[in-house]
Amino acid sequence: MTLMMLLVFGVLMALALPVGYALIISAGLAAVTIGEMPSVAAVVKIFQPTQSFPLLAIPFFMLSGSLMMGGTLGKRLIHFATLLVGRFHGGLGQVTVVGSTVFGGVSGSAVAEASALGSMLIPWQKREGYPGAFAAAATASSATIACLIPPSIPLILYATVSNQSIASLFLAGILPGLMLAAGFMIVCYLSGRLRGFKRLTDEVTLKGVLRATLAAAPALGMPAFIVILLRTGIATPTEVSALAVFYGLLVSMLVYRDLTLRRIYDALVHTAVTTGVVMLVIAASNLVGYVLTVEAIPTAVAEWTAQTLQSPWMVILMLNLIMLVVGMFLDLPAAILLLGPTLAAIGSAIGLDPIQLGIMMAVNLSMGLFTPPVGTTLFIAAAISRERVGAVVRELWPFYLVAFTVLGLISFVPAFTLY
């Protein structure tokens, strides 16, 4: 039945059916065909995971990000990043990376980050003489830092399917996220120096930097606010996400004073639509998981892997290759929900820490967001820059090199995630 499910899913994806519907149809047919589950029970399986209390953190974090970034805060973040690194070689590219890192601590979504920052920064870089393809490449790649910096939506999903601590995953994702940011900034610096990109000549004063830092402080403090509350046990992840919405409302009303009914409405609509897409995939993945569990696929794959690839580092290499290939064709949430249980079983068989595996998945699958043929941030950035996808991909090779380097370090050196 698993083979039939995969075949039906492949055909539906080839027909360009949305992932959520393709999963429900293929898994539903397999579940009913097995004969151990009536159709009514299959429907219950679909709705069961949507009643999870921890998953409420997803819409709340999305809402807090929409509330904070929908006003003047986004412009203040860009101004802060510009004063910080804009005067260096490749400065505007570095502004994109710094902005993405800070924005990731507010939104938790790479797609939202690519759309919001790309619409501001890509046209600006082009006006300053930067190649449009390079500007798009910097945006598409750096947007994925949001997959690691708290409050990362992918890490929340992984915690749900692997029964791991969200707080531990958030903490483990900070260093790899900063490593990616540092590597991408080096790429931008070297590109600007070797290719002669224009440098900003505006005078930068200590007073101006301090003023910009103070203006961006509410966003800069969001990741620390989340991690401290979680690590100290003051609040659960869901409670922290609700507090983040309250925090966003207070910042918009009292600090920036730009909150309007229209912004609240837009934030609620955006959150509802995005949450609906994610929850559809979560619901469908539960039915897929049932089919796999009935046929003991995760256990069989874990045993075969442990017996065939007896060296742990070979197993880790295989896991990375699987995730890289899947990430190129499947959206990140769906890939985490589908691969999570099976890869967790394989990791357990070789003694791989599940927290380390979660960060490996986040880095691996986020690379698929700026890799053809289905790279979401890649296509968003290319559309904003009005450049061909092929031209953007050619500018991405040094960013891929950085991402692979970070992936190798976190895969084979546990100290980078288990600190």
150 pLDDT above the threshold of 80: yes
> CA-CA distance, 50 to 54, in Å (whole number)?
10
The pTM for the full model equals 0.86
pLDDT at 415: 92
For residue 37, the model assigns a pLDDT of: 59
Asked if residue 131 has pLDDT above 90, the reply is: yes
Which residue, among 360, 322, 357, 336, has the nearest Cα to 281 in the 3D structure?
336
Query: Residue 56 class from Cβ within 10 Å (0-12 exposed, 13-18 middle, 19+ buried)?
Result: middle
Dist. CA 282–CA 47, nearest whole Å: 9
Q: How far is CA 244 from CA 58, 249, 305, in A?
A: 11, 9, 42
Average pLDDT over residues 385-389: 91
Burial class (CB in 10 A: 0-12, 13-18, 19+), 321: exposed
Asked if the model's pLDDT at residue 335 lies above 90, the reply is no
Instruction: Report the C-alpha gap between 109 and 146 in whole angstroms.
Output: 6
Q: Which of 1-10, 60-69, 327-336 has the lowest mean pLDDT?
A: 1-10
For residue 36, pLDDT over 70 is answered with no
Is residue 253 over pLDDT 90? Answer: no
User: Who contacts 191 (Cβ-Cβ below 8 Å, separation ≥6)?
Assistant: 90, 93, 134, 197, 398
Q: Does 1 have pLDDT greater than 70?
A: no
Average pLDDT over residues 304-330: 83
- Mean predicted confidence (pLDDT) in 112-136: 87
Q: Which residue has the tokens 């996808």?
A: 389
Q: Is the pLDDT reported for residue 34 higher than 70?
A: no
Report the distance separating Cα 125 and Cα 131, nearest Å: 8
Which residue's structure tokens are 């009005």? Answer: 386
Q: Which two tokens stand for residue 341?
A: 């249980």
Distance of alpha carbon 243 from alpha carbon 248, whole angstroms: 9
The mean pLDDT of 384-393, rounded to a whole number, is: 92
- Give the model's pLDDT for residue 233: 79
Query: If we measure between CA atoms, which residue out of 231, 260, 225, 256 comes closest to residue 243?
Result: 225
pLDDT of residue 298: 67
Over residues 101-121, the pLDDT tens digits come to 888 777 777 887 788 788 888
Compute CA distances 359 → 159, 311, 324, 340, whole Å.
11, 21, 14, 12
Average pLDDT, the chain: 84
Between CA 84 and CA 82 the distance in angstroms is 5
Q: What is the pLDDT of residue 17?
A: 77
Q: Which residue has the higher pLDDT, 65 or 92?
A: 92
Tell me the mean pLDDT in the region 1-27: 78
- Tell me, what's the pLDDT at 45? 73
Whether 190 shows a pLDDT value over 90: the answer reads yes
Residue of higher predicted confidence among 280 and 186: 186
For residue 261, what pLDDT is reported? 87
> Which pLDDT score is estimated for 218?
79
| Listed ranges 255-264, 312-321, 340-349, 352-361; the one with the highest mean pLDDT | 352-361
Q: What's the mean pLDDT in 35-50?
A: 69
Mean pLDDT, range 42-69, rounded to an integer? 78
Q: Report the distance separating Cα 172 and Cα 357, nearest Å.
A: 11
- The amino acid present at 10, given as its one-letter code, is G
Give the model's confidence band at 35: pLDDT under 50 very low, under 70 low, under 90 confident, else very high. Answer: low
